[in-house]
Structure formats: C-alpha cells, structure tokens
Chains A and B, each alone.
Chain A
C-alpha cells in the first residue's frame, strides 16, 4: 500500500464507520510512513472528539415548561378548528363519499344510462332498428333490452363508485403531499 492508497482507504473508512479500520496493509504502511501516521493520528483525535461529544442536560423544569406552554396555547385556542378539521380530513372525505352514494341511491338518478338510451331511441329510433336487424324475433329484442337496462344500471353504479373512489384517492394523496410539504 502506498501513501495515496492508504489515504484513500482511510478516507473511505471515515465515511462508513467512525472507528479505526482494521487492515494489515494499512497498519504496515503507517508503521513505515511518518506523514501518513501523523495524518491518521490527527483524524483519530478529531473523529474521537466528534464521537464523544457530550450531551447537554437542559434545566430541570424543561419538560414541565414545554407542557405548560402547550396547555396554555390550547386554553387560548391556539389549536384552531381548522387544524382539527384538517387533521380529520381522511374521515371527513370518507363520510362525504358515503353521503354522496346514499343521496344518489335515493334520488334514483342511477338510471341515467337508461334515460339517455331511451331519449336516443325516441329521437333516432336507431337502437330498435339495429336490434331488429340482428334478432328478427321481437321477444328476443325485448329480452335483450331488459337485460341491457339491467346492465346499464350496474354500469352506472360502477361508474359512480369508481369516480367517487378516484376523488377520495386524489384528496388522500393531496393530504399526504400537503403533510410532506409542511
């Protein structure tokens, strides 16, 4: 090991563990190189000082003072209703989503796909025409329309549920990012 290698080795060791590295080659180099040994001894004291940096003890009433300042702020209304609402945002959004679903269910507007299809049929008459071309038997067409209506209802529900979940997810993500920022 030459001087450059020894110093590289030491520098790398300093960045991984704050203890003297164990290497026979390194030790052997230090035993014959005064400059590197001096540098190594310097750094050993420097790092030793950093490692043994003593803890400072605060005044005896530190914890009590912190708690009394918090209590004082709370009693003065230091914690606003807005802070409380923000902290409960996840629950508020979930409750809101349930409420939206309940309102939609009761308003019976879930048949909107059926309504759209009926309006389109009344205006153009194309749906029945196309179905009659494919299924010449009118019973089959009726059966298909009733199944189609059922499917449309399910589809509407799925669509609304999907959109609601998406909104919840976006709000949840926004909340997380807001927290990270703060």
Chain B
C-alpha cells in the first residue's frame, strides 16, 4: 500500500510527466515496472512477450498521461492499461479465448473429495504449491488477473472494478468463481498424480 508521502511524490512525478518530463516518467517506470511485468506475465504466460507488452504499457501510459485526470490512482490507471494490453495480445494470439463472461464449471467446495495433502511435511507442501502454481497458469486470464489483484496486490474491490472495467458488484463473484475454478484445476492435477490418494 502506498503511503501519503509516496502518493504525493507520485502525484508530482505524474504532473511533471504530463508536462513532458521524461526523467520524471522514468521514475514512475522504475516504481511500477516489476509489478506491471509480473501482472502481464501472469496473464500471458510468456516471459519474452510479457516484457514487450510491459514496455508497451508504459509507452501507452506516457502517450496518454495528459488524459489522466486523477479520478483513480495512477497505479490503478496503469494496471487498467496493462490489463487492456494483455487482453489485446491474447485476443490476437488466441482469438475467442477471452469472452466477457468466462463461464467455467464451478466447483466451490468439493464435498468430501479432497485428496489428503500432508501440509506439515515441507516437501509435500512444496509439491502441492507447485501443483497450485501450474493450475494457476492454466486459468482464464480474467481469473488469473482478479486473483493476483486481490490476494497478491491487495487491491480493494472498487480498484479491481476500475482495472478490469467490470461493475463493483461483479468483483466478489469473479473472485469466488476464480477460486472455485482454481480448486477444480488443482483437483484435476492431483487426480492425475499417483502420489496422491483420492
């Protein structure tokens, strides 16, 4: 979370960038490059392409920074550009992959079917974490992005709604569906793994 001081210095950097100060904009790039690259990489699952897209995100941001009026935070605005860039990349590569309503078979809590996972043993836990990471990678981009924004970046519902351009009321259900789908993917992978008893 940004402190008041950081926000104030960020506002100054944004104002300077709006006047064409490229050095100030470079500071903003430094502030957010890791986050934006991680966010994009998480969605497109290709490191090389993610780096290109992340660069495009910052270039687009600079080109349209004079249109940034401060109604949302700069960070949220940047994430929205990143999300749009990642989506348009995915649309080009895999047309039809992204639908507005990514309907997934829901599985919220798999009653009684949870495979036993020994979470106390470090190696078993590591294996399970690997499976979760693999499952996360195959989720639809919308689910991946909402999970990352909510659990990792700790954005608030209204900020996620601005970034993903969806109504605020839909954010909660999207998170819910994303977790449900992730559970299902983990479950599918565990079923294929002979080390786990179902």
Residue positions of A touching B, CB distance < 8 A: 7, 11, 14-15, 18, 35, 38-39, 41-59, 62-63, 65-67, 69-71, 73, 78-79, 83, 87, 176, 179, 182
Q: Are B119 and A70 in contact (CB under 8 A)?
A: no
- Please report the C-alpha to C-alpha distance between residue A14 and residue B41 in the assembled complex, in whole angstroms: 25
Q: Contacts A18-B151, A51-B152: A63 and B30 contacting too (C-beta < 8 A)? A: yes
Residues of chain B contacted by A73 (CB below 8 angstroms)? 59
- Please report the C-alpha to C-alpha distance between residue A27 and residue B22 in the assembled complex, in whole angstroms: 55
Q: Are A42 and B38 in contact (CB under 8 A)?
A: no
Closest to B69 in A: A179
Q: Are B112 and A50 in contact (CB under 8 A)?
A: no
Q: Are B63 and A79 in contact (CB under 8 A)?
A: yes
Query: Which of A15, A44, A66 contacts B175 (CB under 8 A)?
Result: A15
What are 20 A-B pairs with beta-carbon distances under 8 A? Answer: A11-B108, A35-B114, A39-B109, A39-B114, A41-B117, A45-B129, A46-B183, A49-B136, A50-B136, A51-B152, A53-B38, A55-B34, A58-B33, A58-B34, A58-B37, A62-B54, A66-B26, A67-B26, A83-B63, A179-B69
Q: State how many angstroms separate the Cβ of B196 from the closest Cβ of chain A.
A: 11
Interface residue B15 (Cβ < 8 Å from any Cβ of A): no
Q: Besides the contacts A46-B182, A50-B147, A63-B29, what 12 more A-B pairs have beta carbons closer than 8 Å? A: A14-B175, A38-B116, A38-B117, A46-B132, A47-B151, A49-B136, A53-B151, A56-B38, A57-B37, A66-B26, A67-B22, A70-B62
Q: Are B59 and A70 in contact (CB under 8 A)?
A: yes
